[in-house]
Amino acid sequence: MAYQALYRVWRPQTFSDVIGQDVITQTLRNAVASHMTSHAYLFSGPRGTGKTSCAKILAKAVNCLNPHDGEPCNECEICKAANENRLNDVIEIDAASNNGVEEIRDIRDKVKYAPTEAKFKVYIIDEVHMLSQGAFNALLKTLEEPPANVMFILATTEPQKIPATIISRTQSFNFRRISRQDILKRMTFILDDKKIKYDEEGLNIIAASAEGGMRDALSILDQALSYGDDELTLKNAQEVTGALSNEQIVSYMTAIADDKPAEALTSLYQILASGRSALRFTEMIIRVCRNLILYNSNSDLSNQMDKSVMTDELLAIANKFDNNRLFYIVDQVSATQKNIKNSNQTDIYMEILTVKISEPQVAQQQTQPETTSANDSQVESVEFDKLRDEISHLQNEIKGLSTGVQKAEPAKPKTHRRANNNTRLNKTAIYKVLGSATKDDLNAAKDIWPDLMSMLSISQRAMMKVSDPVAASPAGVVVAFDYMMWFEQAQDDSEFLQELTDNAGRLLKKDCQIVLVPKKDWPTIRKEYIDNNIDSNKPTNVKSKEETKKTNPTVDEAVKLFGDDIVDVKDD
């Protein structure tokens, strides 16, 4: 028989064989024993943590002819067929290569048929997050109400990509990373069973490189055994994983501790020339710094040091580092790790990192955090006071504008400002709107105003929040601003005015012009228009509108209800 990888040979066959997922396996075992299994499960978590293995074990357990406390017996015909991948009622689907709507529709059609050999027909969909949106939609109804004796088990490493409608129809289990101790225990068990010699420090390096994945650990172990001719040594583990040897890390950290960038760079070049991974190198530096911090703590934390990393040579230079500098090194290494992952220039980043953490002035900077903090606080205090004064000045100006009361200013600036305001006002356009203004047009403008605001950007909405329509005609809308500064900003922005006009025209379904005016000037402009209009058009023997309003109680009441700009008095 052809050779099989360790992770395939030692794949768990019962829930008790699964490592590091005790809560999940106990829950599934109890559900099978009490016949309370769900119709759909979602197994999510990092790679190599037992998701697919648990799915296969669950498929066996619910169909086993002689289960023991929720565990499959692995001796009956059903279990043997499942272990040999020839049980037709357990269907495994790789969603990465079968992610279309047609594949899911095929499942939906076939799920109606009863199992042929076992009690349950079980569909195991691996990497389910790879399904398309259409495929998820096709799966929804079947997943919610599947036929009797059908079970779905979905597995994924990226649950955030699965629609909430799918998750809500399943029982969800989150698989955690497996601890280093559990990985070590499992690898030791396998090596003892195979009667293979091994070095414990080498196993430690493999367990650390696996990053919580049992499958990764067994794959690295398999590779190391092949490299070492069925024997695991420390050197073999270091070569396979790209981990640093003790001599390399001691040489590098000693140069850093002695503030000798040249020697540190020489050590770096030797490490990279030996084929060591730059990413593994940075991880080792962080682990060493972590252990040095624990060692320097002079407390019970020192008992938690990683003995496989902290050799006597590293402990001998521990007193050359204080915790502030170690924290600085960890921060710099962490930042470099992010750059290494996204760049091909790993050597350059490692050189820069080495110079940064080995320069003598770094230690001096780290021993004076309080002074730096005090200086920063002083700068922040000055900036804060400056901003507070500016805000206070703006608040006073806005308050003055809103009440129409302004402090006395020198004559020249006041005259100049007034001239600017009059220049910005387009009285001709305002009078044109007032000439045919109606209440219905104003109501229409107010109705579309919220929709018009929603079409603007966030900054534009903030500017227009202090404005509203005050008059409208079939050909235009007059918009009044509460504050002068927002009126000036909007009036000077021709592109914004054109956009506002175009959007208003689309909403009102007609061509119309948007005309802007300061709210404090609006009553004066309206009165000027009314006076000029009456004076130019009234006959000598007819009383003016103002005179009629003053002498007729009915007109006075109408003015109170509708306003001067709406009421038009005509004599019979």
**What distance lies between CA 570 and its chain's CA centroid?**
67
Residues 22 and 162 in one domain: yes
Using pLDDT thresholds of 50, 70 and 90, give the confidence band for residue 80. Answer: very high
CATH of the domain at 258: 1.20.272
Q: What is the CA radius of gyration of the chain?
A: 40
**pLDDT level of residue 294 (50, 70, 90 thresholds):** confident
Is 93 a residue whose pLDDT tops 50?
Answer: yes
Q: Look at residue 442 and tell me if it is in a domain.
A: yes
- In this predicted structure, the answer to whether residue 386 has a pLDDT above a threshold of 80 is no
Q: What is the mean pLDDT of the chain?
A: 81
Q: Supply the pLDDT for residue 217.
A: 92
pLDDT digits (tens, 9 = 90+) for 325-380: 889 999 999 989 888 887 778 888 899 899 989 876 544 554 454 444 445 555 45
Q: Does one domain contain both 303 and 217? A: no
In a domain, 557, yes or no: no
CATH number for the domain including 228? 1.10.8.60
Write 96-104 long-range contacts (CB < 8 A, 24+): 96/126, 96/127, 96/130, 99/130, 99/131, 99/132, 99/135, 100/132, 100/134, 100/135, 101/132, 101/134, 101/135, 101/138, 103/135, 104/131, 104/135, 104/138, 104/139
Helix (H) or strand (E) holding 43: strand 40-44
**Do 234 and 96 fall within a single domain?**
no
Collapsing DSSP states into helix, strand and coil, what is residue 459? helix
Total-model pTM: 0.58
In a domain, 256, yes or no: yes
Tens digit of each residue's pLDDT (9 = 90 or more) over 458-485: 777 777 878 889 999 988 999 998 888 7
Q: For the segment 94-150, what is each residue's pLDDT rounded down to a tens digit?
A: 888 887 888 888 888 888 888 888 899 999 999 999 998 888 988 888 888 888 889
Q: In this predicted model, which residue has the larger pLDDT, 392 or 221?
A: 221
Question: 331 and 267, same structural domain?
Answer: yes
| Inside any domain, residue 291 | yes
Note whether 90 and 44 are same-domain residues: yes
Strand partners, 42: 154, 172
Q: Are residues 128 and 263 in the same domain?
A: no
Domain that residue 292 falls in: 252-366
Which residue, 127, 156, 174, sits at the end of a domain?
174
Asked whether residue 516 is assigned to any structural domain, the reply reads yes
Are residues 345 and 228 part of one domain? no
479: CATH:
3.30.300.180
CB burial readout 48-79, b (16+ within 10 A) else e? bbbbbbbbbbbbbbbbbeebeebbbbbebebb
Residue 569 bridge partners (DSSP): none
Considering only CA atoms, which of 480, 560, 485, 556 is closest in space to residue 514?
480
Domain limit, last residue, from 174, 208, 229: 174
Indicate the pLDDT class of residue 387, thresholds 50, 70 and 90.
low
Domain tally, the chain: 4
Under 8 Å between Cβ of 130 and 98: no
d(CA 354, CA 264): 7
Q: b/e per residue, 247-264, with b = 16+ CB within 10 A?
A: ebbbbbbbbbbebbbebb
Domain presence at residue 406? no
Last residue of a domain, one of 366, 381, 402: 366
Whether residues 184 and 320 share a domain: the answer is no
Residue 173's pLDDT is 95
State whether 160 and 97 are in the same domain.
Answer: yes
Answer yes or no: do 15 and 126 share one domain: yes
What lies within 8 Å, CB to CB, of 79 at 6+ separation is 60, 64, 65, 72, 73
Residues 204 and 289 in one domain: no
Residue 28 lies inside a defined structural domain of this protein: yes
556 is a domain residue? no
Strand order in the sheet with 171-174: 90-94, 121-126, 150-156, 40-44, 171-174
With tokens 């007193």, the residue in question is 319
**Which pairs count as long-range contacts for 182-189, CB under 8 Å and 24+ apart, including other chains?**
182/19, 182/20, 183/19, 183/207, 183/210, 183/212, 183/214, 183/217, 185/19, 186/10, 186/19, 186/214, 186/217, 187/217, 187/218, 187/221
- Side by side, which strands form the sheet with 476-481? 467-473, 476-481, 513-518
Residue 25 has pLDDT above 90, yes or no: yes
Q: What percent of the chain has pLDDT over 70?
A: 79
- Percent of the chain having pLDDT more than 90? 27
CA distance 334 to 329: 9
Q: Which residues pair with 68 in a beta bridge?
A: 71
Please tell me whether residues 27 and 166 are part of one structural domain. Answer: yes
